[in-house]
C-alpha cells in the first residue's frame, strides 16, 4: 500500500516522523515522504529530518515561499503531477499549513487514469487516493487565521479524520461530519517527544547558552498577528526586555519574525538587551532541551502549547484564542494579552503554577493507533 506522508513546514515534521517509522515496520506498507518545500532553510527543515531520523524526502516539490494563493496553487500544480505518476492508495496530510489544504484539495479531486496494470483501488467506488487528516478537528473559531481556513477545508474534504483529543471529535460532529470518519488517536507529537526523550535529555543546549535549569524563559513568536505589525512587535519586544530583568530569556527567532524585526528597526533594541539571548531557529532536539529545562514559555505556536502541557511547563500564549483549548482547560497553558502578560509572568516567577493533567491518549502510542486504523481501511 503506497502511502504519501505530506511534509511541508517545521511543525509537520514531528507529526510525520513517528508514523513513518511505525509504517516502515509493516510489510504491507510503503510510506513515501513528500516534501512540498514550504519550509526550506536548513534549520527549518533538514535539521528536523536529521534529528527525527527521517530519510531524505523521497519526493520534493521545491515550492518555497509566496503569498497564500501562490503557495497553495503552486503546491497543487506540482502535487497533481506527482499523484498521477505515483498513484498512492492513501495520502496523509498533517496539521494546518498551506500545503495541508493544497494537497488535500488536489488528492480529493484527482481521477487516476484507468491503466491495465494499475493496482486495484483501495475502495472500488473511488478512483483516487483516500485522504486522511492527522490532527483533525482543531478549531480556533477565528477565521482571520489562515490556519483556521486550512483546517476547515481540509476536514470538510478528508475521508478519514484522526483527532488528537475529544474536543476535536466534538467540533467535527457539530459540523455534521459522520462519526465513522472520525477516529480519536491522540497526539502524535508526544510520540516524537518520547521517541527522542533520551537525546533531548542528554543535549546540553541550555547549558551551552550559559543558562541554568528552571531559571530562564523561552520565547517563540511567529504569528502574523503578533509579528507583522510594527506596533505589536515593538510592544512585544518592550515586554520581553521588561521580563528579562527578572529572569533571563532565550529567543530562537523564526525567519518571518527576523525579517520583520529588521524591517521595523527593532533588532538592535533586542540585541542590546543584556539578558535576552537571541539565536537562529533551533533543531528539534536542542529546542526541546530548552523546553524541558525552562521555567516558562512565551509563545504563539500551536504545538508548543501541547508539548508544555504534556511536560507540565507553564505556557503563556500570546493569542486571543486557541484551537487547542484542552491545553488551557486541562493543561498548563494560559492565553495572554499585552496587558496581562507581565502579571502572569510575575505569578509564575513567584512560584504560583497552574495545576494540570495530561489529556487522554497523549501517551506516545498514537502512531500505533494510526497504523491500526490504516490496516482497517486496507482490509475494508
Ligand atoms: C507557516 C504556517 C504556520 C506555521 C509556521 C511554522 C501557513 C499559512 N503558515 O508559517 O501555520 O505555524 O509555518 O513555522 O502555512 N521563510 C524562510 N525560510 C524558510 C521558511 C520561511 O526564510 O525555510 C520566510 C520567508 O520569508 C517566508 C516567511 O518566512 O515568506 C513565512 O513563511 P511561510 O511558510 O509563508 O509561513 P510561516 O510564517 O513560516
Cβ atoms of residues 132 and 180 within 8 Å: no
Report d(CA 40, CA 315) in Å as an integer.
28
Q: Which residue has the cell 506516545?
A: 364
Report d(CA 136, CA 162) in Å as an integer.
6
The single-letter DSSP state of residue 289 is H
Q: Ligand 1 mean position to 308 CA, how many Å?
A: 22
Q: Ligand 1 mean position to 65 CA, how many Å?
A: 7
Among 35, 46, 49, 65, name the best residue to mutate to test ligand 1's pocket (greatest count of ligand atoms within 8 A of Cβ). Answer: 65
pLDDT number for residue 117: 63
Cβ atoms of residues 62 and 34 within 8 Å: no
pLDDT number for residue 378: 78
Q: Which residue has the cell 527521517?
A: 54
pLDDT number for residue 359: 98
pTM of the model: 0.96
Is 135 close to ligand 1, i.e. is its CB under 6 Å away? Answer: no
Indicate which residues carry an active-site annotation: 222
Dihedral-angle region of residue 52 (phi above 0 means left; psi in -120 to 50 means alpha; beta otherwise): alpha
**361: its cell numbers:** 491518549
Dihedral-angle region of residue 64 (phi above 0 means left; psi in -120 to 50 means alpha; beta otherwise): left
pLDDT number for residue 123: 57
pLDDT number for residue 121: 53
Nearest CA to ligand 1 atom 29: 256
pLDDT number for residue 336: 98
Report d(CA 358, CA 7) in Å as an integer.
27
CA distances from 98 to 37, 188, 235 (A): 11, 20, 28
Is 222 close to ligand 1, i.e. is its CB under 6 Å away? Answer: yes
Dihedral-angle region of residue 266 (phi above 0 means left; psi in -120 to 50 means alpha; beta otherwise): alpha
Nearest CA to ligand 1 atom 11: 97
Is 344 close to ligand 1, i.e. is its CB under 6 Å away? Answer: no
**275: its cell numbers:** 539578558
Picking from 103, 145, 107, 131, the residue whose alpha carbon sits closest to that of residue 8 is 103
Nearest CA to ligand 1 atom 19: 39
pLDDT number for residue 77: 98
pLDDT in tens, 100-144: 999 999 999 999 987 666 555 555 556 899 999 999 999 999 999
Q: Ligand 1 mean position to 141 CA, how many Å?
A: 22
pLDDT number for residue 122: 54
**94: its cell numbers:** 498533517
HSE of 110, CA atoms in CB hemisphere, 13 A: 29
Q: Ligand 1 mean position to 343 CA, how many Å?
A: 31
Report d(CA 308, CA 303) in Å as an integer.
9
Minimum-distance ligand 1 atom for the alpha carbon of 68? 8
Is 40 close to ligand 1, i.e. is its CB under 6 Å away? Answer: yes
pLDDT number for residue 158: 98
Nearest CA to ligand 1 atom 35: 65
Q: Ligand 1 mean position to 169 CA, how many Å?
A: 28
pLDDT 10s per residue in the chain (380 long)? Answer: 999 999 999 999 999 999 999 999 999 999 999 999 999 999 999 999 999 999 999 999 999 999 999 999 999 999 999 999 999 999 999 999 999 999 999 999 999 987 666 555 555 556 899 999 999 999 999 999 999 999 999 999 999 999 999 999 999 999 999 999 999 999 999 999 999 999 999 999 999 999 999 999 999 999 999 999 999 999 999 999 999 999 999 999 999 999 999 999 999 999 999 999 999 999 999 999 999 999 999 999 999 999 999 999 999 999 999 999 999 999 999 999 999 999 999 999 999 989 999 999 999 999 999 999 999 987 76
Cβ atoms of residues 106 and 83 within 8 Å: yes
**371: its cell numbers:** 497504523
Amino acid at each position: 500500500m503506497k502511502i504519501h506522508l505530506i511534509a511541508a513546514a517545521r511543525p509537520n515534521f514531528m507529526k510525520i516522523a513517528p508514523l513513518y517509522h511505525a509504517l516502515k515496520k509493516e510489510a504491507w506498507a510503503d510510506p513515501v515522504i513528500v516534501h512540498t518545500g514550504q519550509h526550506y532553510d536548513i534549520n527549518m527543515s533538514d535539521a528536523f529530518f536529521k534529528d527525527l531520523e527521517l530519510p531524505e524526502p523521497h519526493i520534493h516539490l521545491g515550492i518555497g515561499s509566496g503569498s497564500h494563493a501562490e503557495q497553495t496553487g503552486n503546491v497543487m500544480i506540482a502535487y497533481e503531477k506527482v499523484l498521477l505518476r505515483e498513484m498512492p492508495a492513501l495520502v496523509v496530510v498533517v496539521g494546518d499549513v498551506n500545503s495541508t489544504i493544497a494537497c488535500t484539495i488536489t488528492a480529493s479531486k484527482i481521477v487516476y487514469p484507468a491503466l491495465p496494470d494499475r493496482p486495484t483501488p483501495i475502495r472500488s467506488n473511488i478512483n483516487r487516493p483516500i485522504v486522511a487528516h492527522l490532527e483533525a478537528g482543531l478549531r480556533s473559531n477565528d477565521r482571520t487565521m489562515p490556519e483556521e481556513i486550512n483546517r476547515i477545508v481540509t476536514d470538510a474534504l478528508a475521508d478519514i479524520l484522526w483527532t488528537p483529543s475529544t474536543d476535536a471529535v466534538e467540533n467535527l460532529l457539530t459540523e455534521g461530519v459522520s462519526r465513522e470518519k472520525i477516529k480519536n488517536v491522540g497526539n502524535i507529537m508526544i510520540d516524537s517527544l518520547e521517541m527522542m526523550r533520551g537525546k533531548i535529555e542528554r543535549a546540553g543546549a541550555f547549558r551551552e547558552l550559559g543558562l541554568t535549569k528552571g531559571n530562564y524563559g523561552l520565547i517563540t513568536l511567529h504569528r502574523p498577528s503578533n509579528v507583522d505589525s510594527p506596533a505589536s512587535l515593538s510592544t512585544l519586544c518592550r515586554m520581553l526586555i521588561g521580563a528579562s530583568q527578572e529572569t533571563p530569556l532565550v529567543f530562537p527567532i523564526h525567519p518571518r519574525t527576523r525579517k520583520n524585526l529588521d524591517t521595523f528597526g527593532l533588532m538592535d533594541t533586542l540585541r542590546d538587551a543584556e539578558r535576552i539571548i537571541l539565536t537562529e531557529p533551533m533543531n528539534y532536539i536542542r529546542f526541546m532541551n530548552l523546553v524541558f529545562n525552562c521555567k516558562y514559555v512565551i509563545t504563539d505556536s500551536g504545538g508548543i502549547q501541547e508539548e508544555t502541557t504534556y511536560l507540565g511547563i507553564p505556557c503563556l500564549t500570546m493569542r486571543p484564542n486557541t484551537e487547542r483549548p484542552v491545553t488551557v482547560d486541562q493543561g498548563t497553558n494560559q492565553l495572554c494579552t499585552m496587558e496581562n502578560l507581565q502579571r502572569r509572568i510575575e505569578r509564575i516567577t513567584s512560584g504560583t503554577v497552574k495545576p494540570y493533567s495530561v489529556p487522554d491518549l497523549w501517551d506516545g502510542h498514537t502512531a500505533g493507533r494510526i497504523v491500526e486504523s490504516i490496516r482497517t481501511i486496507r482490509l475494508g
